[in-house]
Structure 1
Amino acid sequence: MKNPQLHSDNYYIQGVNLYAGSFCLLYFQGRFFLNQRAIALTQELIQFKTRILNQMLTCTSFTFNFPLLIDHIRREAIFFVKQLQRLQRRE
């Protein structure tokens, strides 16, 4: 007798019946939207760090961080966004 929770052509996730094709589509759509959200948030971080760095260099703001550290975090964020964008384009 087959297990009522599992069938060869269906997947059951938290009581929801998803066909294998639908499951893959939902997985890739979810990953796409998660990456898009991460890109948007990281771009906001880049803008923030750029603004802080410019204010530090023009002596209009003070922070205990070194400018090189802020620039490093900013450059890492830019690299991360580029990598996520490549992933989104499936390169």
Structure 2
Amino acid sequence: VYRLELQVPHLSPDADGYTICHVSDLHAGPLVGAPELRRLASLLKSLNCRAAVLNGDVAEGSVETRAPEMEELRTLATSFPDGAYYVPGNHEFYNYD
């Protein structure tokens, strides 16, 4: 976990302490399975993230063969009060036929 605190001039006091978590290159699949994703969800919950950005390469291999991992990712993505936002990476465009 790397923490970065930003000072934003004229930001509303209501936003003080607002936490956005950024997660990149999960590569959910054979090496990062459902148990690891549950541990990640627990870690992010402990950080009190209000929102999350999932940045590319979320799955490794065909999504159709990763049902347990995709279910954990769905649960993770819906756990943030202000939402989760996703930016696809190059692995989302590979053809795994």
The structure with higher relative contact order (CA 8 Å, sep 6+) is 2
More helix by share: 1
More strand by share: 2
Larger radius of gyration: 1
Q: TM-score, normalised by structure 1?
A: 0.28
